[in-house]
Amino acid sequence: MNRWLPFEWIAGIRFLRDGWTQTLFVLAGVSVGVAVIVFMSALLAGLQTNFLRRVLSAQAHIVMLPPDEVARPLRAALGVIPDAVVQRPAQRLRSIDQWQTVLTQMTAMPQIAVATEVASGAGLAVRGEASRSITLTGVQPEAYFRIVDLPASMVTGQLRLNSEDIVIGTDLATDLGVTAGDKLRVTSGAGHEATLTVAGLFDLGNRGVNERTTFVALRTAQSLLGLTGGVTSLQLTVRDPYAAEVIAQAINGMTGVRADSWIRTNLQFFTAVSAQQTTNTVIRLSVGLSVALGMASVLVVSVVQRSREIGILRAMGARRGQILRVFLIQGGVLGLAGSLIGSVLALGGLLLFHASARQADGTELFPLVIDPQLFVLAAVVAALTGVLAAMAPAMRASRLDPVEAIRG
């Protein structure tokens, strides 16, 4: 079979096989390095997926709100009244001006995946002598449930939002002593009142949300909140969640409507994830550099040890380019083989870690994300790193004088 291989491959593989001890040590170093890099990359991908799932499962990427009301000082005939004290006014519940036009603009933007209107405000839920403060959220189910996956969070009852239905959280249901099918008297801050049927109970995994948030039909919320034909916010999801802040700023400049992204409202969490990603990148680069330097040092020693063989090959007619390629092939083969072994080790470590790391209730700590592209990328990068690490030893070998090399 070797007769079909080019000379460079035959010589490179022969050198690796003859120095099998050095080859094994290099393979072990490359394998461990690739295993660490792949394991940490997959681990970080799982943590980020879990973070996005927990933070964004119950909220939109961007929320568009009406501008805050601002108090202005009274003006006399000749200008502003001196020593005027301007206090921040109370914020009234009001609708976004011309929201239908704005919603059409948002739907037409290619960066936005879903856009829907929401009418939300404070209210009071009463059941017998028990009462609780709630947040009334009126939605269009078809679009809103593409932003907040409420159907997947239903515990009991039905996710039905007719004009006389309300869907509430499990903790609120416990506080009021109700279940699916019971009646609630709901009063809004505007003084409007309605008796609604509890269609179902949901659990979004957040006690605060489960205690306060309720969902009704959009028209029901508009009637209770005194927002005839109006909405208090437009909620959007974007195709790239990490670009939400940039898109929000662009929307603010284009429409004049205040746009808050999930990055701004969850700044501490986002900063923590960004710092974690930066740390992970630094560690991966450090491990990769260590592996490359270790591989280069071993190949330099190999060049010194095989100076006589290199001189004989040069004397027999081997060109400088062929000698150069012999050692570049060694580096590439070591990198590729080490990446394959390291990927298998990383996969085993991920499966073992995912099986052993559990929450108190026995559920998974975070989802296991195994991206085939990660392993392909690791193989390609490791092979290229091996070639680059072998560059200096290969150039040194190709420059050896045949006579001096044979003399030793």
Burial of 372 by CB count in 10 Å (0-12 exposed, 13-18 middle, 19+ buried)? exposed
pLDDT computed for residue 156 by the predictor: 92
Mean pLDDT, residues 9-13? 79
**Has residue 1 got a pLDDT over 50?**
no
pLDDT digits over 200-255, tens only? 999 987 788 899 999 999 999 999 998 888 999 999 999 988 889 999 999 998 88
Rg over CA atoms, the chain: 33
Instruction: Classify the C-alpha dihedral 11-17-18-21 as positive or negative.
Output: positive
Mean pLDDT of the chain: 82
Residues 6+ apart with CB under 8 A from 189: 93, 121, 122, 123, 225
pLDDT computed for residue 363 by the predictor: 67
Q: Is-contact 368 50, C-beta < 8 A?
A: no
Residues 6+ apart with CB under 8 A from 347: 38, 370, 375
pLDDT computed for residue 85 by the predictor: 62
**Has residue 118 got a pLDDT over 90?**
yes
**Pick the residue with more confidence: 148 or 80?**
148
Considering 120-129, 204-213, 274-283, the range whose residues carry the highest mean pLDDT is 120-129
pLDDT digits over 348-406, tens only? 888 888 788 776 666 666 667 777 887 888 888 888 888 887 787 778 777 777 767 66
pLDDT digits over 28-53, tens only? 888 888 888 888 888 877 777 777 77
**Has residue 140 got a pLDDT over 70?**
yes
List the structure tokens of 93. Answer: 């519940």
Q: What percentage of the chain carries pLDDT values higher than 70?
A: 88
CB atoms within 10 A of CB 97: 12
DSSP character at residue 151: G
Domain positions in the chain are: 2-55+270-407, 92-231
**Pick the residue with more confidence: 310 or 349?**
349
pLDDT digits over 14-24, tens only? 877 877 787 78
